[in-house]
Structure 1
Amino acid sequence: MKYLTSFGTMMLAMVLLSGCNDEGPTLHALYGDYESTKVFDIDTKSMKLESVMDVAPADGPYGVECDSDREAFALTRKSDSIAVVDFRRDRVVKVIPLKFHPRSTATLPNIDLVLVSGKTEPMAVTIGKTDHRVKRYFGNETGQNVDTAHYFGGGNNTGHPFWLADGKRFLLLDRVNRKISLYDKENEVPLYEIQTETTAHHVLYRPVDVDASGNGTYYVVLEGPADPNDATIPAAGIMKLTVDGNNVINVEEIFHAAHEDGGAHHARFYGDKYIFFPTYSGKVYVVDKESMKQVSTFQAGEGAGHITFSIRKRMAIVTNHKATYVTVVDVSNPQSPVVVKNIDVAMPLTAEERNAGKNAQAHTCSFDETGRYFYSVANCDAKFYEIDLDYLWVSRTLQLPGTYVPMGDFVRY
């Protein structure tokens, strides 16, 4: 009996010890090197490069977007194909031929499809998550480019694709023809289309504003003019629209930034009431989503394009694509945000890099689960970095074996 008790105690201790060592999934960052065929997998906890995957013959992985906790799509924007990588096994699963260079993807957990929009054509395609087969194309090959002489946003022919909650319909943002098309995934003919006053970049919404079928209210970022002095093009803005059960899109209202603030790419909700809307000049607008009126503004840096919130810390970080620093903001009172500090993360862009349209800071970033640590990349430096919000400094960096690392995704495994 004494032996059994001792054995039981020993086994219990081993179980407890094993439990103490099991720290669960780790946050990983997956980024692409646009000037090569390499995709990087970074362990953020150890700040080490876990693996390098080569997606050749696909070329130019501008970014990486995860569709599960195992697989991701490398957006190989220099080739008519898209690469699927299994980051758990550090290997390329398949390179899928396409009719265009890929721009961005959208997924939903309740459907076995990935929606991919085009960089070189105002089109989209659905691909099976499981079998990796092309299912159906939407839109038409035109050979046309976005009118970048007048409209902000670079040469991408579409904005970000967007699934409605029903998993049956999606929105395609056609930036060449400046229109938004509503499609059913089983039909190449649009259900409904509207024109937009400038090119549209992405869609945002709050779940409380839509039903299970995806009918309800959405907000679309309008990119505005390429030249802030060009008064013939409407200013950048946020368009509020509704989609109903009859597949009709209605434009409710448009909030416009000041014309001199230049173009815009992204906006983000803070809570269910406020939209934070960065503009190229660095001015960030806080907009009430119901009234579509300006609540307040604050100043970030040149090329302000993305804003990410640490809900636990009640802080935000603004990515300033053309500046050397990110802007840390106290959003405890979203009606009156306070800039806390600008933190240098990148080297200044050279004239050559600016002329090539390159950015100093990546489009994608993330906080850890505590909300204390912020992760992103200095593009041209190919340097992954961590910011500690408790101390407001760059706490760790990791030099990547790349040249230009502009976009990625984050996943726990």
Structure 2
Amino acid sequence: MKKLTTISSAIVASLLLIGCGGGDSSSSTASTGTGFYVDEAIQGVEYVCGSQSGLTDVTGKFIFEQNKNCTFKVGNVVLREVNASTLQNNITIFEDNTNTARFLQTLDRDGNATNGIEVSSSAKKLNLTTVPTDDAVLNDIQSDMKANDKDYRGRVVTTEETQAHLRQTRMNLHENNRPTQHDALSSSEQTKAYFGDKENNMIVVVDVENMKLIDSIATGHEKTYAAEVIKTRGMGHTANPKMYIDNRGSNAIDVLDSKTNTISKTIDLAFHPRSIDVEKETGLVAVSGSDKAMTAIIDSSTDTVIATVGENKVTAPTTSGHAYVSSGTLACGHPHWLNKDHFVLIDRQNRKIVTYKITKNSDNTWSTTKVNELITPSPVHNLIPPEIHGMHGRKRKQEKHGGHELYASTIFFATAEGAENVYPSVLKLEFTEEEGLKIVDELKIQKEGLSANIMGVHHLNFLKDQKTIYVGSDEGTLFVVDYTSTPMSIIKTVQAGKGAGHTDEMKHNNIAVVINHKDKFITVMNTLNHTKIADIQVSNIPDNEVGVVQTQSHPKYHFSKDGRYFYMFLTEEGELVKVDLVEKKVVQRLKIGGKLAMGSFVESNH
């Protein structure tokens, strides 16, 4: 029988026990500490924390050895691993992973997680090695628990119930000032934002957690748009001090040293740069043009241009896409590497994707070779690689090498933005080194009653389920696409806001934020059932500017460690806003000024 009904009462009772020398037989010493594992208190979970091990008690209490990691398990199922750097005395480990919390709530003996979760000892006999997510598996677990534990009265909890309970638990922890693993992380980490102010031609540097402007760095160029991190393989989570600054109104990339917040070099180009893509193995950087259909390749080790392809001709004013869509008057789409020596030039004016191969010669010079040109139904915005969407191409005849599958081709997806009398579309592409890119499937983004001439798509947002794409259209419709079906299909639509475009998905919870670039509000989505949770107002622009001006910035965006807060820049108003996703409102604004367009959030250890 459970005796403690709330997080606060469980914590207080456990602290009293510790103070009186009661509780766990392994009392805290100089080399150990006490923590609590909660979604409400979780009892009966096995933990191993260095030399300390046991079962969490009725308060969720566990004992850990200092400077050792912790693992929480039910039988052979690992629920959570916690790094030693996070553990401090009286830490609360909040089980905020929806799938894990749902599993634990289903195991709860009395089926009522609001008074705590008690996991029966018979649960460790379950024939499982991973956290179950399938309803059928959870139903089998419920049947097994009933058969093996006469006191089990639990049930299979729905995902919606789990998320509602997690939201309530998060609020209870906050109200009781209980530090969680996310607070411990935030105390040792700092997030800085580097964003381009295209009006004042500078990069602003912001301390995100403290909502404070740290620095502003003038470039001396025109339309300073974004600062993008140059990060190569092997760097792990270490922040790279080098960034490239895109100046969309000058023939220049500036090199920013973020350790000193100074510009160390300017790289001259034959065109105005739009954006970059880093090939992480080689360190080569592709830069596409905003005014000309050109791409340059930069060696980031020396910050020098080693190759340039495309036509040295201004095409931006006559681009054939919709002028009102974000990239409607830009010459190129975003650059992209197909592999370590193949890249693309996305020519928006001529509606084609050109694949090139770059080769280093014996004299250390570089040469490029055109592989093919692919005509597209409308101007293309960008490509999405396999590490995002999870699909593989055709297998080679020899099935495996060193235990890994070998593939003769690679799958990419592309955003075709739409044009006059042409609906936008999702393009599925296949790449081979010999033939370049070809279209293997196309899904038109259309809905009855919507004219192609009021639509326009500039980004595909692939969810972490590696099944679903959120596709926002300029007039405000969010299309939910199943890209794993053959052919691809639209499974539902949701009303978002004007300029619906980018989506940022939370890593551990099934929540995503849709950015409505020309509206006052963001749209928060439940990504499990693709329903709207809320529209949250972030901008205070006049109503007559909705659908006209760029209110909400382009990437990047940032979630707090605990998932409660969402940070984003407002372009037109020149602000950074902190959105409370629980209270569904803006709780803090930092007025910076200018027109803040695009940039990077960089997390670093103190």
Whichever residue aligns with residue 403 of structure 1, its letter is G
Please report how far the alpha carbon of residue 10 of structure 1 lies from its aligned counterpart in structure 2 after TM superposition: 11
> Equivalent residue of 1:371, what SS?
coil
| Cα distance in 2 between the residues matched to 1:27 and 1:109 | 23
Please report how far the alpha carbon of residue 35 of structure 1 lies from its aligned counterpart in structure 2 after TM superposition: 0.9
The residue number in structure 2 matching 1:160 is 334
* Residue 471 (structure 2) aligned to one of 274, 277, 285: 277
The residue number in structure 2 matching 1:310 is 506
The residue number in structure 2 matching 1:77 is 248
Whichever residue aligns with residue 32 of structure 1, its letter is G
| Cα distance in 2 between the residues matched to 1:395 and 1:185 | 49
Does 1:30 pair with 2:194? Answer: yes
> Equivalent residue of 2:318, what SS?
coil
- The structure-2 alpha-carbon separation of the partners of 1:184 and 1:11, relative to structure 1 and needing over 3 Å to count, comes to same
* Residue 66 (structure 1) aligned to one of 206, 229, 232: 229
The residue number in structure 1 matching 2:214 is 50
Please report how far the alpha carbon of residue 391 of structure 1 lies from its aligned counterpart in structure 2 after TM superposition: 2.1
Moved more, 192-201 or 213-222: 213-222
> Equivalent residue of 2:596, what SS?
coil
- The structure-2 alpha-carbon separation of the partners of 1:60 and 1:107, relative to structure 1 and needing over 3 Å to count, comes to same
The C-alpha deviation readout for 1:151-200, integer Å capped at 9, x for no partner, is 45321110011112x31111221101110011112343321111111100
Does 1:41 pair with 2:205? Answer: yes
CA contact (8 A) 2:253 2:273 kept: yes
Please report how far the alpha carbon of residue 66 of structure 1 lies from its aligned counterpart in structure 2 after TM superposition: 1.1
Structure 2: give runs of 5+ residues left out of the alignment: 1-28, 33-65, 68-84, 89-183, 232-239, 360-366, 394-405
- The structure-2 alpha-carbon separation of the partners of 1:55 and 1:150, relative to structure 1 and needing over 3 Å to count, comes to closer
Whichever residue aligns with residue 418 of structure 2, its letter is G
Normalised by the length of structure 1, the TM-score is 0.87
- The structure-2 alpha-carbon separation of the partners of 1:387 and 1:353, relative to structure 1 and needing over 3 Å to count, comes to closer
CA contact (8 A) 2:519 2:547 kept: no
Structure 1: give runs of 5+ residues left out of the alignment: 1-8
CA contact (8 A) 2:341 2:358 kept: yes
RMSD: 2.7
CA contact (8 A) 2:498 2:546 kept: no
- The structure-2 alpha-carbon separation of the partners of 1:179 and 1:146, relative to structure 1 and needing over 3 Å to count, comes to farther
Moved more, 364-373 or 305-314: 364-373
The C-alpha deviation readout for 1:263-302, integer Å capped at 9, x for no partner, is 0100111121111111111111111112311111111001
> Equivalent residue of 2:522, what SS?
strand
| Cα distance in 2 between the residues matched to 1:264 and 1:404 | 23
Please report how far the alpha carbon of residue 385 of structure 1 lies from its aligned counterpart in structure 2 after TM superposition: 1.0
> Equivalent residue of 2:301, what SS?
coil
CA contact (8 A) 1:117 1:158 kept: yes
* Residue 236 (structure 1) aligned to one of 424, 429, 435: 424
CA contact (8 A) 1:310 1:372 kept: no
| Cα distance in 2 between the residues matched to 1:33 and 1:215 | 41
Please report how far the alpha carbon of residue 148 of structure 1 lies from its aligned counterpart in structure 2 after TM superposition: 4.6
Normalised by the length of structure 2, the TM-score is 0.60
The C-alpha deviation readout for 1:223-280, integer Å capped at 9, x for no partner, is 112xxxx5xx320111111012423322111111125250010011112111111111
* Residue 394 (structure 1) aligned to one of 564, 577, 586: 586
Percent identity, please: 27
* Residue 359 (structure 1) aligned to one of 550, 571, 577: 550
Does 1:90 pair with 2:261? Answer: yes
CA contact (8 A) 2:411 2:429 kept: yes
* Residue 216 (structure 1) aligned to one of 410, 413, 424: 410
The residue number in structure 1 matching 2:348 is 175
The residue number in structure 2 matching 1:328 is 524
CA contact (8 A) 1:263 1:279 kept: yes
| Cα distance in 2 between the residues matched to 1:410 and 1:216 | 30
Please report how far the alpha carbon of residue 390 of structure 1 lies from its aligned counterpart in structure 2 after TM superposition: 2.3
The C-alpha deviation readout for 1:1-21, integer Å capped at 9, x for no partner, is xxxxxxxx9999xx98x9979
* Residue 198 (structure 1) aligned to one of 375, 378, 386: 378
Structure with the higher helix share, 1 or 2: 2
* Residue 128 (structure 1) aligned to one of 283, 286, 299: 299
CA contact (8 A) 1:27 1:368 kept: no
The residue number in structure 2 matching 1:4 is none
The residue number in structure 1 matching 2:150 is none
The residue number in structure 1 matching 2:139 is none
Please report how far the alpha carbon of residue 311 of structure 1 lies from its aligned counterpart in structure 2 after TM superposition: 3.3
CA contact (8 A) 1:322 1:349 kept: no
- The structure-2 alpha-carbon separation of the partners of 1:25 and 1:109, relative to structure 1 and needing over 3 Å to count, comes to farther
Does 1:405 pair with 2:596? Answer: yes
Does 1:346 pair with 2:542? Answer: no
> Equivalent residue of 2:498, what SS?
coil
| Cα distance in 1 between the residues matched to 2:353 and 2:267 | 26
Which is greater in Rg?
2
CA contact (8 A) 2:498 2:547 kept: no
Whichever residue aligns with residue 491 of structure 2, its letter is V
Identify the structure with bigger relative contact order (alpha carbons < 8 Å, sequence gap 6+): 1
